[in-house]
Amino acid sequence: MDRQSLIANIKAKKSFLCVGLDTDLEKVPPSFLEMDDPIFEFNKMVIDTTKEHCVAYKPNTAFYEAYGAAGWTSLQKTIDYIGEDHFIIADAKRGDIGNTSGRYAKAFFHALNADSVTVAPYMGVDSVSPFLAFENKWVILLALTSNKGSQDFQLLKDQDGLLFEQVIAKSQEWGSIENLMYVVGATHPEQLAHIRSLVPDHFFLVPGVGAQGGTIQEVADAAFTKDCGLLVNSTRGIIYAGGNGPGYQERIRAAAADLHHQMKPYFS
């Protein structure tokens, strides 16, 4: 999906919601465990329930790789089921020497047909550039993440500034607003406006809303642009909002609808 198509979808729905598909079989309603492919069937239910409220889905590949070949099949079926109307993020956090990154890129962009993949920048340009070589595909580069350990390295400072600032500045030489996004956690609201000033036109993937404490208002007030420029992800707050009892599907729908409702006022 190219940039203009993504923006058009966002504006048409008045939504910048991304639903994370981190499917844990220990948390899904027991009825799914009786099915031949419980991961896919649960995902299918979540997609059918939330698709009117979101513009993107983000399966975290670890939750599929943990089940070996069967999990990878569930991931492929999930991506195929999502189709072309929603932006698909393979949350894989890859990054390796160039020829290996090239194979990762082929796996996610050709074999799985994801629109984007999260990439770790630690190994530098030759680990990132193979992902940027694919037309209408995106790198979502880790910049300032939402986890507690982000301060261990990302917030280190030297004479050239904070490390995440240097990552953002250097990566501007590698990609453009057409193929490069940044992961910026909602748990760092004090930094969102600053990062937006560094990259005024790039999209941000923003995790950390909901279960991790971030809010739609904080994120949008700090970083919303004329093109929106945001994909705000919620995972646990949506897909496990229903619990295991009766009515779980309606509670999942309500959780997605609530976040969508909070986003609508930013489109006028």
Contacts of 266 (CB under 8 A, 6+ apart): 14, 220, 224, 228
Query: Which one from 11, 44, 77, 93 is the annotated catalytic residue?
Result: 93
Contacts of 99 (CB under 8 A, 6+ apart): 130
Tell me whether residue 137 is one of the annotated catalytic residues.
no
Provide the pairing of β-strand 157-158 with 56-58: unpaired
Contact 260, 15 (CB under 8 A): yes
φ and ψ at residue 230, rounded to 5 degrees: -135, 145
Contact 64, 73 (CB under 8 A): no
Distance in angstroms (rounded) separating the CA atoms of residues 94 and 101: 7
Contact 58, 232 (CB under 8 A): no
Distance in angstroms (rounded) separating the CA atoms of residues 241 and 199: 34
Active site residues: 93
